[in-house]
């Protein structure tokens, strides 16, 4: 899919909370084998953090890189599955905090881990149609894993956001995008449940792999591109294994994936996952680089994007903290503090 007007990323922002819990610590508490943990450590939001506060910092960082007046934003869309209010948009709080109100569209989007990339897809359309000059889409989560469940090792907090604008103002131009969706119940959470449920091995081949592969292949076919044409490939990263495996299947070499693979260090930030990986790549990329990015959300679906970096990235990327500075800002906590911050202790 290509909009009638050429668009791209005018600014991007990321955020990761500073607390970390090591997987070996989680394994210790539940009596699991510490050698079989899926990642090294994951990020944990502080007691005063939630998807709203994280989204606000992401938005501010994106604005710093874009260098635009927030009142010129036509949308502030937040994709998340951990919104503090079940009813009352996170987006309006973010919009107010960044002074984008009142002439702005705001709404919270949900599609598990691809809620964030959905908003980006919509921003491309909003700007590409000429309706908006700039549009902001954010993917953020403070994900919850049920205690002792496999997902507890990786459910983390963080996210990234993108301001889409015209191609000539962009630091990376959108060459094309595609969405691929089916009704595949691999992972869900019913309304009054605290923790999600998942289909275990069903979340692999018929879910993650099918949608990421199908979507990626279809976009490359539409654009007439091959994996070799790209310098970087970013995939939704629920752990370390899946993105490396899917890259191999699609034909992207490991070197192209590694810079955008940050879940081993901070865990799976769900709606923020692929977008954060993309931000990490943008922090490193140079003019002329081509980036391929495919997200995945349970339920299930994928959004694929093909991007080309312009000469504007070099100057803009330094205007806000890099993903690396947030990764390196860390304080280790134990399971007790983690349980307290994640409100797993019944009071």
Partner 1 sequence: MDVPRHWREQIRRYRLVGSKCKDCEKLSFPYRNVCPKCRSRNCEDYQFIGRGKIISFTNTNSPPKEHKYNMPFAAALIELMEGPVITAQITDARAEELEIGMKVEMVTRKIMEYNEAGLLCYGYKFRPIVEYAHP
Whether 262 contacts 237, CB under 8 Å: yes
Show which residues are catalytic.
81, 113, 236
| Nearest distance in Å: CB 280, partner 1 | 9
Please identify, using beta-carbon distances, which residue of 97 and 257 lies nearer to partner 1.
97
Please identify, using beta-carbon distances, which residue of 55 and 220 lies nearer to partner 1.
55
DSSP state of 232: E
| Nearest distance in Å: CB 284, partner 1 | 6
Can you read off the two tokens belonging to residue 45? 């939001």
Please identify, using beta-carbon distances, which residue of 131 and 314 lies nearer to partner 1.
314
Cα–Cα distance for residue pair 277/293, rounded to 1 Å: 9
Please identify, using beta-carbon distances, which residue of 205 and 331 lies nearer to partner 1.
331
Helices 273-284 and 115-128, axial angle in degrees (round to 10): 60
Binding interface with partner 1 (CB under 8 A): 18, 46-50, 52-53, 56-57, 84-85, 93, 96-99, 283-284, 317-318, 320-322, 324-326, 328-329
**Alpha helix (H) residue ranges in the chain:** 23-30, 51-66, 90-97, 115-128, 210-223, 241-250, 254-258, 263-266, 273-284, 313-317, 323-328, 335-341
| Nearest distance in Å: CB 18, partner 1 | 6
- Output the DSSP codes for 125-182: HHHHTTS-SEEEEEEEEE----TTSGGGGTB-EEEEEEEEEEGGG-SEEEEEEEEEEE
| Nearest distance in Å: CB 325, partner 1 | 4
Please identify, using beta-carbon distances, which residue of 186 and 283 lies nearer to partner 1.
283
| Nearest distance in Å: CB 292, partner 1 | 20
């Amino acid at each position: 899919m290509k909009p009638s007007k050429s668009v791209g990323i005018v600014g991007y922002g990321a955020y990761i909370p500073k607390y970390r819990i090591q997987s070996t610590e989680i394994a210790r508490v539940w009596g699991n084998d510490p050698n079989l943990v899926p990642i090294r450590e994951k990020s944990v939001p502080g007691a005063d953090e939630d998807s709203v506060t994280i989204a606000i910092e992401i938005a501010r960082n994106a604005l710093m890189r874009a260098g635009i007046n927030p009142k010129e934003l036509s949308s502030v869309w937040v994709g998340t599955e951990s919104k503090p209010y079940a009813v009352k948009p996170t987006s309006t709080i973010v919009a107010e905090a960044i002074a984008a109100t009142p002439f702005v569209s705001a709404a919270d989007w949900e599609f598990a881990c691809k809620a964030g990339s959905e908003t980006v897809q919509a921003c491309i359309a909003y700007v590409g149609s000429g309706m908006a000059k700039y549009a902001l889409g954010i993917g953020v989560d403070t994900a919850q894993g049920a205690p002792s469940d496999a997902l507890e090792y990786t459910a983390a907090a963080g996210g990234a956001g993108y301001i889409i604008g015209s191609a000539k103002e962009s630091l990376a131009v959108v060459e094309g995008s595609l969405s691929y969706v089916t009704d595949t119940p691999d992972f869900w959470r019913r309304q009054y449940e605290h923790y999600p449920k998942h289909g275990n091995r069903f979340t692999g081949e018929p879910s993650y792999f099918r949608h990421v592969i199908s979507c990626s292949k279809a976009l490359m076919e539409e654009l007439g591109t091959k994996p070799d044409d790209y310098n970087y490939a970013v995939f939704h990263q629920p752990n370390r294994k899946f993105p490396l495996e899917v890259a191999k299947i699609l034909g992207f070499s490991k070197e192209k994936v590694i810079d955008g693979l940050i879940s081993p260090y901070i865990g799976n930030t769900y709606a923020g996952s692929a977008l954060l990986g993309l931000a990490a790549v943008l922090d490193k990329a140079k003019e002329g680089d081509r980036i391929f990015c495919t997200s995945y959300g349970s339920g299930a679906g994928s959004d694929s994007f093909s991007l080309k970096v312009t000469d504007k990235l070099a100057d803009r990327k330094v205007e806000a903290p890099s993903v690396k500075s947030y990764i390196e800002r860390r304080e280790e906590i134990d399971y007790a503090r983690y349980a307290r911050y994640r409100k797993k202790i019944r009071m």
